[in-house]
Chain A
Amino acid sequence: MKTLLLGTALTLGLAGMASAEGYKIGISNTVQGNGWREEMVCAMKAEALASGKVESLNIAHRNTDAAGQLEDIRNLIQAGVQAIVVNPANAEGINTAVKEATDAGIVVVAVDQAVTEPSAYILSNNQEQYAYLGAKWLFEQMGGKGAVVYMRGAAGAGADNDRDKGFKRAMAEFPDITVAQEVFTGWQQDQGKQQINDIIAAGVPFQGVWTSGIDNVIVDAFVESGAPMVPIVGADNAGFVGQLSSVEGLQGAAVTNPGSVGGAGVALAIQILEGKAPAEKTVLVDPELWENVTEEGKAKLAAAANPNLSPEWPVSVSVPGWTTYTMDQIIACKGPGE
């Protein structure tokens, strides 16, 4: 009897899957429990739902390495998805599975970071421009001279390498700017805070801090230690954006690095499935800079701040021109059929 029931349920379920219309899209992500990545996954779900063209999402979302992502992508191929949107663990390590997917006629879109496999589309935030915009603003605030603390991301990560290029480009334009200290925060809040505390305690003179997105804890360190505030550049994480309007004496700028690029990736995948492939295989989303020293900048910061967002989420919850979901939809974090 039990088997009969189970069999009927299974058959009905399968029949249900076959009769529904729309695309079946796979998602692969290898970092779980990080605010930026969670926003990315929610943006993917929200965009799939808002488009009305996606029947189901198969989401492989766990903490793993490139070998695990190979497994996930191959499982998605087996699941019969028509497109895969992937945040690659590594630019080269997952190429074989990406090639297998595109050979099987599956559209592959890499978001956030690039893959070197040429058959994949890449939709990424322009990380070089991200660093350049923030660094240039910072160096101007410092009056074009002085020493800067350069707090990078994770050593060897693709995004960190690209940001380093942008930072160096800005450095070249300001010959009187020097680097007081260069550290890798690993994009870890606790590590970054320890590092800035050490730098403050060591008494190294510096006139500005550039961070690769580990920003609110840096402001906290200045407030807690009572050290004189210097201009600080960070990302558009809700916590830091809030500090830019609330912390006394803080001059700073948030550069947008939307996690919602995941939603844009789903939008791009749908476009390609509909036969509207972009001319270039790589699409870069350009960042914006919101500072708190001019009235115009303050207005932008005030508009971006959103008390409903988790403090670790970037406040830029949509990518203009790409995503179509509403604020409520991304916060709800529900995909098709949920």
Chain B
Amino acid sequence: MRRWIEANAWTLGLAVLLAVLLLATKVIQPGFGATGLDSLARAALPFALATVGMAVVVIAGGIDLSVAAMMAVASVTGAVLMAGAGDGQALLAVIAVLALGIAMGTVNGVLIVVTRVPDIVVTLAMLFVWQGVALLILNAPGGGAAPWLRAMSAGGVALPGLPQGLTDWLPRGVVFLAVVTALIWVPIRRSKLGLRLYAIGSDPLAAFRSGVPVGQTRIAAYAICGLFAALGGLSVTMSTGIGEPIPGPYLLASVAAVVLGGVVLGGGRGGILGPILAVFILRTVRMDLTMLSVDPNVAAIIEGTIMVAVVMFGAILATRGRKA
């Protein structure tokens, strides 16, 4: 038990921080309740999916600067394919978009592995490529989304066997996020691939000498990131009902959440839950600042300061822990 707590101290700390923030929200706005949690979950969904994708790549020792641009491509592709389509066709469109995400990520990964150009350069270049692709597909916001898809992230859930009063408090956005992340990440984490991702992140040379196919694993990491970016893009289309070709503010936000979530930028250490909690923390801070009607320009400064403070505080705790 004690070892488990120690191993997950950072994530637990973030969970406590989130709980404190939600309590603070309740103090600021006594009316904060189920609908508030629901809107928080809906706002967090695209950020969380982008962050999970980024976290996988960072754990594997890389970085993907094209994540927001890939989301835009996925969003407009989904919106164009779904505009005026029936439910069945929309399902095919979703599958196509997810495949497209994997394909885009694979392109990123292959370019990095084959050309040996640093990942930060390749994905920066691909950021522009995917931005152009998104504008080619749709030069202005438009398209549509299937109603069943839009309903998937809105409102509470009805889970069998649980009282309605309790499930009302569980936003569908959170369930959606938990289900897709678990479906994709848990099997990978438990397989050889999961171990390899961490291995190439900690020490690519050692991993190579232990027989890990470094190149293939790296490509896989980017493909997984592409898949989550596609899910993130779809979640934007789910919430707005349209596709937007100009990428949203997801790139820097995802890097921030990955760092705040306890993933080491050099790779090899960290998990997925921490970054997801970090996303919710950052969204709650934004919500509280809006509720307190803080000057919007000051709000951005406060958000940044909180981030630095938390990471620094955590680093101090970690050094102390090691000494003791």
Contact = CB atoms under 8 A, between A and B. Distances in A.
B46 A67 contact: yes
Contacts of B242: 66, 90, 92-93
B39 to A, nearest CB: 3
A65 B283 contact: no
Q: Kindly name the residue among A57, A75, A94 whose own CB sees the greatest number of chain B CB atoms within 10 A.
A: A75
Interface string A63-81: 1111110111011111110
Contacts of B286: 71, 75
A61 interface: yes
A93 B141 contact: yes
Nearest to B33: A78
B290 interface: yes
Interface stretch (B243-251, B255-263, B265-273): B243-251
Interface stretch (B9-17, B91-99, B101-109, B292-300): B292-300
A32 B295 CA distance: 13
B287 interface: yes
A79 B236 contact: no
Interface stretch (B24-32, B55-63, B192-200): B24-32
Given A65-B248, A65-B249, A68-B249, A78 B140 contact: no
| Interface of B: prevailing SS | helix
Interface in B123-177: 139-142, 150, 154
Say whether chain A's binding surface is mostly helix, strand, loop, or mixed: mixed
A281 interface: no
B141 A90 contact: yes
A212 to B, nearest CB: 15
Given A71-B43, A155-B139, A78 B291 contact: yes
A300 interface: no
B42 interface: yes
29 contacts: A32-B296, A59-B295, A60-B296, A61-B296, A62-B300, A64-B248, A64-B249, A65-B236, A65-B247, A66-B141, A67-B236, A67-B240, A67-B244, A70-B42, A71-B39, A75-B39, A75-B291, A76-B290, A77-B39, A78-B31, A78-B35, A78-B36, A78-B291, A79-B293, A90-B244, A93-B141, A93-B241, A96-B240, A96-B241
Given A70-B42, A154-B140, 12 more contacts: A32-B296, A57-B293, A59-B295, A61-B296, A62-B299, A65-B246, A67-B43, A67-B239, A80-B31, A92-B240, A155-B139, A155-B140
